[in-house]
Chains A and B, each alone.
Chain A
Amino acid sequence: MKTESYKESIRKVVEKYGITHISTITGTDSGQTIDVMPHLSCAGIKITFKAAVPKTAAEIDTLTDVLPGAVMYEREVHDLLGVKFKGHPNLARLVLSDDWARDVFPLRKEYKVVRPEPIRKA
């Protein structure tokens, strides 16, 4: 779905079916874009929305006024992938440490994990 209609479509679905529960918001790095996927659930049915934001201008509307439970999940996606949520009440750090560099986003594919050499010899 397009980023412009992201919030409106979700709001329509939430109001039509009376959904209150959001399970989580997944952010995935798919090359040029980042997919933001909220997972909602209503009476046992899992509904997943997907919106792709370009990596260079990663901004999307917040869902906290439609579903207040999304606060923590948007903070997590912001922290680890660098997606800004417009209108979020408190976009502070959630899992990374306070002195982590501001523009290094661990879950993006560019970030390579440096594995230490296993200690094989004494």
Chain B
Amino acid sequence: MPEFSVIIGPQHPALKEPESFTFWVDGEDVVRAEVRIGYAHRGIEKAAESRTYIQNIPLIERICGICNVAHTICYTQNVEYLYGREIPRRAEFIRTIIEEMNRIHSHLLWIGIAGHEIGFDTLLMYVWRDREVVMDLIEEMTGNRVSTALMTIGGVTRDITPELATRIRRGLDTLEERTKYYEKIAANESTVLARTKEIGILTREEALKHCAVGPTLRASGIKSDVRAEDPYAAHDEVPFEVITTDTCDLFGRVVVRVYETIEAIRQVHYCLDNLPTGPIRIRLPNTPPRGESVSRVEAPRGEDIHYVRSDGTDKPARYKVRAPTLGNLASLVEMLTSKGDYKVCVADIPIILAGIDPCMCCMDRTSRFIEPSSGREWVWTWDQLKKYGRRRKE
């Protein structure tokens, strides 16, 4: 039977962010898939070379709205490794608190989006209503619901007062009860089960071969988490479990993320109970010594790795970011290919795409480009990209 190709994207109602997929289909089964990215490419790596280290913090924060804390922690940690100095313990605990709250927010967002992709909009509305609790808490802590701007080179900028800690605890207790309810829904609701079991399979060998990261990897039975292997901030002291399931399918990823949310709530409680006293930042000179440094962080979507090279000036010579969604791209193509008994239907495409929790703006940010010197996030459509490419050639 002749196969024909279906192109989905870059602008498409099923996709939250621009990427172009070409699927070769044979009836309803998807035979092959090809991914094309680069539509939200903003040139952050090149932009970071023309700004000083402290000016880069908001730029790096805007790589991704949802996992902005992970990127800023990775950046400030990287530069602090260059200096070779340790930040105060209290700052490390505050960083862990805001990072885990960011993870709760991101996973709740994802559960809602997964529900939306299945067609279960009720779940989206309810989960997002409960997510307001954590958004309000983040707003009280940092001054903004999404773009936290809490980090600086040498520590954090704001402190947590005891009254704020009480409010956070109360909000998290509500959230824990609601998340346990969603756990029950995920395990029992027949809509969710029918749409996620045996869909989007990524076997253990394939996950290792394609170097998947994050919950995509952990749902295939591999116990790998940067917080446990390579602890940073306060993760060497805060106890937590690495959640894995071995179902290797989308249902496993839902379960992993729900349990990670509960673990994150527990970690924030521990941090608040054991917050050490002391200063929250140290002052560092403007220019770090020459050198190179690599830093890894567990963002909500997976392992985020940054590399910096300093040549003794106050601007970085090279800054490289590899966001987690790029690591999952090869696994995504694998998941979308029908092989043997495992058939992928066209109708399953949106939920499989949502299953790796794609954050295309994170993925595309490498190199070049002009940027309006405000560091604003700027998404280009395909037409604008083409037009600009042509203009540059002249």
A-side residues, CB < 8 A to B, are: 20-24, 26, 28-29, 37, 39, 41, 43-46, 48, 67-73, 76, 80, 93-97, 99-101, 104, 106-107, 111, 113-116, 118
Instruction: Assess A116 versus B45: contact at CB under 8 Å? Given A28-B318, A44-B229.
Output: no
Q: What's the least CB distance linking B257 to chain A, in Å?
A: 21
Query: A104 vs B369: C-alpha distance in the bound complex, in angstroms?
Result: 12
A-side contacts of B47, CB under 8 Å: 113
Let me know if B389 and A67 touch, CB within 8 A: no
Asked whether B8 is an interface residue with its Cβ less than 8 Å from the other chain, the reply is: no
Residue in contact with A23 in the complex, picked from B305, B330, B390, B393, CB distance below 8 Å: B305
Asked whether B245 is an interface residue with its Cβ less than 8 Å from the other chain, the reply is: no
Q: Specify the chain B residue showing the minimal Cβ separation from A117.
A: B373
21 A-B Cβ contacts within 8 A? A20-B208, A20-B209, A23-B303, A39-B307, A41-B296, A44-B228, A68-B330, A69-B210, A71-B330, A72-B327, A72-B329, A76-B326, A95-B37, A95-B367, A96-B368, A100-B392, A111-B46, A114-B370, A115-B371, A116-B370, A118-B373
Interface digits, B359-394 against A, CB 8 Å rule (1 contact, 0 not)?
000001011111111000000000001100110110
A-side contacts of B230, CB under 8 Å: 41, 44-46
Let me know if A97 and B303 touch, CB within 8 A: no
Q: What's the least CB distance linking A60 to chain B, in Å?
A: 17
Q: Specify the chain A residue showing the minimal Cβ separation from B211.
A: A69
Query: A22 vs B212: C-alpha distance in the bound complex, in angstroms?
Result: 10
Query: A9 vs B121: C-alpha distance in the bound complex, in angstroms?
Result: 52
Let me know if A39 and B305 touch, CB within 8 A: yes
Interface digits, B306-321 against A, CB 8 Å rule (1 contact, 0 not)?
0101000000011010
Query: A94 vs B364: C-alpha distance in the bound complex, in angstroms?
Result: 9
B-side residues, CB < 8 A to A, are: 37-38, 41, 43, 45-47, 50, 208-211, 224, 228-230, 294, 296, 303, 305, 307, 309, 317-318, 320, 322, 326-327, 329-330, 364, 366-373, 385-386, 389-390, 392-393
Question: Which of B208, B228, B296, B368: most chain A CB closer than 10 A?
Answer: B368
Known interface pairs A76-B366, A100-B392; 13 further A-B residue pairs with C-beta atoms within 8 A, sorted by A's residue number: A23-B303, A28-B320, A37-B307, A39-B305, A69-B210, A72-B327, A94-B37, A94-B38, A99-B390, A106-B368, A113-B46, A113-B47, A113-B370
B-side contacts of A43, CB under 8 Å: 229
Residue in contact with B38 in the complex, picked from A20, A95, A113, CB distance below 8 Å: A95
A-side contacts of B317, CB under 8 Å: 28
Let me know if B366 and A80 touch, CB within 8 A: yes
Q: What's the least CB distance linking B230 to chain A, in Å?
A: 4
A-side contacts of B366, CB under 8 Å: 76, 80, 95, 107
Q: Specify the chain A residue showing the minimal Cβ separation from B329.
A: A72
Let me know if A106 and B43 touch, CB within 8 A: yes
Q: What's the least CB distance linking B374 to chain A, in Å?
A: 8
Query: A113 vs B47: C-alpha distance in the bound complex, in angstroms?
Result: 8
Query: A76 vs B229: C-alpha distance in the bound complex, in angstroms?
Result: 27
Let me know if A101 and B393 touch, CB within 8 A: yes
A-side contacts of B294, CB under 8 Å: 39, 46, 48
Query: A16 vs B78: C-alpha distance in the bound complex, in angstroms?
Result: 29
Query: A78 vs B230: C-alpha distance in the bound complex, in angstroms?
Result: 30
Query: A116 vs B378: C-alpha distance in the bound complex, in angstroms?
Result: 14
Let me know if A93 and B46 touch, CB within 8 A: no
A-side contacts of B390, CB under 8 Å: 99
Q: What's the least CB distance linking A59 to chain B, in Å?
A: 20
Let me know if A106 and B369 touch, CB within 8 A: yes
B-side contacts of A113, CB under 8 Å: 43, 46-47, 50, 368-371
B-side contacts of A48, CB under 8 Å: 294
A-side contacts of B318, CB under 8 Å: 26, 28-29
Query: A58 vs B210: C-alpha distance in the bound complex, in angstroms?
Result: 26
Q: What's the least CB distance linking A31 to chain B, in Å?
A: 10
Instruction: Assess A68 versus B209: contact at CB under 8 Å? Given A23-B303, A95-B37, A97-B38.
Output: yes
Let me know if B389 and A95 touch, CB within 8 A: no
Query: A21 vs B306: C-alpha distance in the bound complex, in angstroms?
Result: 16
